[in-house]
Amino acid sequence: MREHELLGPWLRRFLTEYIVTERNLARNTRSSYRDTFRLLLPFASREVRKPVDRLMVRDLASSLVLKFLAHVEDHRGCSVRTRNQRLAGIKAFARFVGSRDPAHVEWCGCIRAMSSKKSMQPSVGWLTRPEMEAMLAVPDRRTGRGQHEYALLLFLYNTGARVSEATQLKVRDLSLGAQRGGHDLATLHGKGGKIRQCPLWPETERVLAHEIRDREMDAPVFVSRLGTGFTRFGVYRLIERCAAQIPMLAGRAITPHVIRHTTACHLVLAGVDINTIRAWLGHVSISTTNIYAEIDLTLKANAVALCEVGQERPRRSWKEDKDLMAFLRSL
């Protein structure tokens, strides 16, 4: 068996050379591709009855990939969007192999011809201002732990940051200089290595200044009760725990992304233009941000009022319009 027919060497080159060195893809994208094959390889091994290290590229036939995608949905309980994400990782690998070995062009074409499944755009979940204020009131700020949790919740609401952007925030990323004639800013490192700056409210600046006292520049801004940086899982648990203590949020799934949606929706209600909100949230395309222009019934009612058909006005002959006749004679 020739080495270029084995799946292992190709996959190693794809994960360690192509997506890191050649493409320089974001860390989360690399993790997504890695996780796809961590699921796919054991599944393929069981289907073709071969050890993982003896799998061949052609063993990943389109029929097997379809079975794997069905397994992701039916047995793992994943959504259609997750299923399509797994397929995107497999297609990227097929494109890599096909572009470097003509013997696998046909296999590559079969994989890349597979279609993504249509999925419904999930509705935008967000909190009203009283609900968000209730969330901020949950942490007990008389304790150190409550102060840490309040600072994190307030920062998420202020900036609309993704959970990964908040957990990766370092002390050096904060510019707290309003009292010295500057601007209070947080530098966020977003998806794809993109960097953006978000202004901070005076309350956020005060809380964060207290949080980072006596900390090194490379230290995380948000720390848990153990003194270590918050993890993604820790942020999710914190928000779930706070939401569980608010009766008006009973039965609703509140996540860090819901708070991100909340920031965007409140900016829309405040009259901030959609392009500014796009830059605030770090969206590449404004079409992603446009969903927030459709979420509030108040905005829709105002738009309808502007277009409301009123009572028909009595018509008047243009000859009776003295101002119009004077205007015409003056030309």
Question: pLDDT tens digit string along 96-138?
Answer: 999 999 999 999 999 999 999 987 766 668 899 999 999 999 9
Q: Are residues 194 and 271 part of one domain?
A: yes
Q: Which residue has the higher pLDDT, 298 or 194?
A: 194
162 found inside a domain: yes
Contact, 96 vs 87, CB < 8 A?
no
The lowest-confidence range among 1-10, 158-167, 206-215, 279-288 is 279-288
- One domain for residues 97 and 139: no
Statement to judge: residues 203 and 276 lie in one domain: yes
Confidence bin at 281 (pLDDT 50/70/90): confident
* Least confident segment among 9-18, 38-47, 313-322: 313-322
Q: Is the pLDDT of residue 57 over 90?
A: yes
Query: Is the same domain home to 147 and 252?
Result: yes
- Whether residue 287 is found in the same domain as residue 152: yes
At 179, the pLDDT band (50, 70, 90 cuts) reads low
| Sign of the CA dihedral with 254 first, then 256, 261, and 266 last | positive
Token couple for 189: 């490192």
- Is 188 inside any structural domain? yes
117 in any annotated domain: no
Q: Which of 13, 191, 196, 206 is catalytic?
A: 191
CATH number at residue 10: 1.10.150
- Is residue 126 within 8 A of residue 258, CB to CB? The reply is yes
The residues, any chain, with a CB within 8 Å of residue 225's CB and separated by 6 or more, are 144, 145, 148
State residue 193's pLDDT score. 77
The answer to whether residues 157 and 268 belong to one domain is: yes
Residue 124 lies in a domain: no
pLDDT attached to residue 265: 87
Residue at a domain's end among 82, 112, 142: 112
- Same domain? For 20 and 64 the reply is yes
What residues does 195 pair with on adjacent strands? Answer: 189
Residues 6+ apart with CB under 8 A from 280: 159, 160, 196, 198, 263, 264, 267, 272
Give the mean pLDDT of the chain: 86
Q: Of 33, 150, 157, 292, which is the active-site residue? A: 292
Q: Is 252 a catalytic residue?
A: no
Looking at the structure, do residues 160 and 69 belong to the same domain, yes or no?
A: no
Structural domains counted in the chain: 2
Q: Is residue 228 part of a domain?
A: yes
Residue 264 pLDDT? 87
Among 112, 138, 164, give the residue marking a domain's end: 112
Q: 148 and 77: one domain? A: no
The yes-or-no answer on residue 329 being catalytic is no
What is the rounded average pLDDT of the residues 181-207? 86
Give the structural domain span for 48.
Answer: 3-112
pLDDT of residue 330: 67
CB neighbour class for 310 (10 Å; exposed up to 12, middle 13-18, buried from 19): exposed
Same domain, 19 and 59: yes
- CATH code: domain of residue 200: 1.10.443.10
| DSSP-based three-state secondary structure for 308 | coil
Is residue 324 in a domain? no
Concerning whether 283 is annotated as a catalytic residue, the answer is yes
Q: Worst-scoring range by mean pLDDT, 189-198, 212-221, 224-233, 308-317?
A: 308-317
List 260, 261, 266, 278, catalytic entry: 260
What's the pTM value of the predicted model, to 2 decimals? 0.70
Find the catalytic residue in 162, 261, 266, 278: 162
**CA 100 – CA 107 distance, rounded (Å):** 13
In the residue annotation, 162 being an active-site residue is answered as yes
Does the pLDDT of residue 277 top 80, yes or no?
yes
What's the pLDDT band for 285 if we cut at 50, 70, 90?
Answer: confident
Annotated catalytic residue 257:
yes
Residue 195 lies in a domain: yes
Residue 12 known to be catalytic = no
pLDDT recorded at residue 111: 96
Q: State the distance between the two ends of the chain, measured CA to CA, in whole angstroms.
A: 92
Give the whole-angstrom CA distance, residue 79 versus residue 225: 34
Identify the H or E element spanning 315. Answer: none
pLDDT (mean) for 68-84 = 94
Residue 231 has pLDDT above 80, yes or no: yes
